[in-house]
Amino acid sequence: MSAYYLQQLLNGLMLGSLYALIAIGFSMIYGIVRLINFAHGDLLMVGAFTTLGLASTGLLPWWAIALLVLVTGALSGITIERVAIRPMRGAPQVTGFIATLAVSVVIENGGLILLSGQPRTFLFPEIMRSRVTIGPASVAAVDLVIIGSTLLLCVLLLLFVRGTRMGRAMRALADNLLAARLMGIDVDRTIMAAFAIGSAFAAFAGLLWGGRFGQIDPLIGFAPGLKAFVACVIGGVGSIGGAVLGGYLLGLAEVMFVGMLPPIYSGYRDAFVFATLILVLLLMPNGLLGRPEEDRA
């Protein structure tokens, strides 16, 4: 494989990791409450600015910052659930979408008011920017950190969902919420946990996103959030494995689209992603790993 293709492959894996991290939360939340959380992408912004704020104090080591970002993300997710989603439970589905859309508007414009729309420079420590050579290609260390930490978080999540009581409760809720409640599962707590985990992942993606691209502003979460949803749909909404798979596929496809076609098309990058969404919905509405939803009376 030539250096160029290996380079593109690594870029695709890096981008795919970020999409996967965001998509996992979308999928967990959708799987349980059947709701697309439009505010989910904005947690990326929350994570990125939390990181920037903590790093600029210079007091904390990076592992502590990463931990605090995860906690902030989880708390934000819990807040969103309490303010905008729990009160709407039982209302028509559309009500829930509109509520999360409103939350997203509040977060984005609140960010613009409090943090101003000026993009800010975001610097990872020097060592992250050093180049690492892999065969014929060379990548920034941060790319490897992104891919590595994503895989680590995925494995941890898998162990959690398969092996703990709470994880089992989540799967039961996703299967059949009513039956799960009858079995004595605390529905409120489980939904809150799903929001906390999904949102923590999205905020962590924000830390990595800022570190990789070097500039952040209050609206950075919007586009990756939408694209992560596309990744979810490709993989099959509601399936965590599907979200990861879809994230990587979308990341690779997007990088290939930009890297392999003549440069005049690269302006169409975002259009390509959403055209893929519509195509996937047309051909395989349940995605790669999703289960068909039957109509229940």
- Kindly list the residues in this chain that would bind other proteins in the complex (CB under 8 A): 35-36, 83-84, 87-88, 91-95, 97-99, 101-103, 105-106, 108-110, 112-113, 117, 222-223, 226, 229-230, 233, 267-271, 273-275, 277-279, 281-282, 285, 293, 295-297
Least distance in angstroms from the C-beta of 37 to other proteins: 11
Q: Which is nearer to other proteins, 16 or 41 (CB)?
A: 41
Least distance in angstroms from the C-beta of 237 to other proteins: 9
Task: Write the DSSP assignment of 6-71 as a string of letters.
Answer: HHHHHHHHHHHHHHHHHHHHHHHHHHHH----TTTTHHHHHHHHHHHHHHHHT-S-HHHHHHHHHH
β partners of residue 215 = 121
Q: Which is nearer to other proteins, 97 or 160 (CB)?
A: 97
Least distance in angstroms from the C-beta of 191 to other proteins: 17
Least distance in angstroms from the C-beta of 23 to other proteins: 13
Going from the C-alpha of 103 to that of each of 12, 42, 160, 211, the distances in angstroms are: 31, 9, 29, 26
Dihedral sign for Cα 113, 115, 121, 122, please.
Answer: negative
- Which residue, chain included where needed, has tokens 């934000």? 76
Q: Which is nearer to other proteins, 78 or 112 (CB)?
A: 112
β partners of residue 121 = 215
Q: Which is nearer to other proteins, 79 or 164 (CB)?
A: 79
Q: Which is nearer to other proteins, 60 or 278 (CB)?
A: 278
Least distance in angstroms from the C-beta of 149 to other proteins: 27
Q: What are the backbone angles phi and psi of residue 235, rounded to the nearest 5°?
A: -80, -20
